[in-house]
Amino acid sequence: MSRKRAGEPSIGFVASGDLSDAAEMEHLPIDSLWTGGHVASRNASPEALMSLARLSAVTSRVRLGTSILLLPLYPPAIVAKQIADLDRATSGRLVLGVGVGGEYPQEFRACGVPVAERGPRTDEAIPLIRRLWTGQPVSHDGPFFPMQDVRIHPAPAQSGGPPIVVAGRKPPAMRRAALLGDGWMPYLYSPRRYAQSVQAIETVAARAERDLSGFEWYAWVFVNVDPDPDRAKRQAAATMGGAYDQDFRPMVDRVAAAGDIAQVTDRLKEFVDAGAHHFIFMPASGGDDPKPVIDRLLDQVWPAVRTHATGVV
């Protein structure tokens, strides 16, 4: 069943680790740039909030987001303050993408946070951050982040603060998005699984009588567009394997958009029909220059995907 969203879909990219291309990418016909990071992962990584600050300093137009911030590792007051300051500095261009992590237990040990508490801490932190963004004194007696008469001000530029989008792959993340989030951002999903997650979120929200008007549906997708589809898939698998330290060759056709122009176009149309409306692309060029992949996606794939989503030629 098609779940196309009203209006034109948006397109964004994950900025490179050193952000050297961010200013140049802002001149492309894109809507957003995203950055993430870890505190102490196995692979070298920036820290998400610091990376977001650097990204905000070299852009002036596009939306900026974290994909993702590992929220349970941070005190909510620190996140609220830093994001509020950055939202004001960027004239209200921020989206806060959050997740619970857990694949790198060493960074939880480094931050003194038990891995088993990552879900409950995140559930408590999301509404608390929103309260802190009001700019008014906040008292809170939750089990993880009690505070008395704490005021974070000035408030963010966006009324109510930036959208908080929940990332993840499993049912607890879907429930968190349905009950607490302003959007859903799964990764390493097939279109079929994306459609299932949309249905699950809508079901949970309906049972809680929560209105999802304005809720945003993101899809974080590894992409490689190449005239040689076999090369595109090899490079995508190499990129994904480097990020997650496993062999992704058997999974590329299911969880990535890799192939020639027609193949990638068809795959992204499937995501649109599954309910995705905001795409965050990670160019998966296997260590080669990602610019050709980005150019082919923007020039030869995205116009057809946009037309499919809107019905407007």
Domain ranges of the chain: 10-162
> What are the E-state strand segments in the chain?
10-14, 32-35, 63-66, 69-70, 94-99, 138-140, 147-150, 164-168, 183-186, 216-225, 257-259, 278-283
The Cα 34–Cα 282 span in angstroms is 10
Q: Which two tokens stand for residue 253?
A: 């056709």
Please count the residues of the chain: 313
Confidence at residue 222, expressed as pLDDT on a 0 to 100 scale: 97
Are β-strands 183-186 and 164-168 bridged in parallel, bridged antiparallel, or unpaired?
Answer: parallel
The Cα 276–Cα 218 span in angstroms is 6
Confidence at residue 1, expressed as pLDDT on a 0 to 100 scale: 56
The Cα 279–Cα 112 span in angstroms is 34
Q: Which amino acid is at 308?
A: H
Nearest to 84 by CA among 40, 124, 138, 120: 138
Q: Which two tokens stand for residue 278?
A: 């905001």
Q: Are 156 and 174 in contact (CB under 8 A)?
A: no
Give the mean pLDDT per block of 10 residues along the chain (313 residues). Answer: 81 84 92 95 89 95 97 98 98 98 94 97 98 98 98 97 98 98 97 98 98 97 97 94 72 94 98 98 94 97 96 64
Nearest to 69 by CA among 101, 108, 103: 101
Q: Are 208 and 191 in contact (CB under 8 A)?
A: no
- The residues with which 186 forms a beta bridge, in sequence order, are 168
The Cα 16–Cα 45 span in angstroms is 11
Give Cβ neighbours of residue 44 (< 8 Å, ≥ 6 apart).
none
Q: Which CATH number fits domain 10-162: 3.40.462.10, 3.30.230.10, 3.20.20.30, 3.30.70.260?
A: 3.20.20.30
Confidence at residue 31, expressed as pLDDT on a 0 to 100 scale: 98
Q: What angle do CA 55, 264, 6 make, to 5 degrees?
A: 70
Q: What angle do CA 155, 32, 186 make, to 5 degrees?
A: 90
Q: Which residue has the tokens 């961010």?
A: 22
- The SS3 assignment for 288 reads coil
According to DSSP, residue 187 is labeled B
The Cα 98–Cα 35 span in angstroms is 12
The Cα 213–Cα 287 span in angstroms is 40
250: how many CB neighbours lie within 10 A of its CB? 8
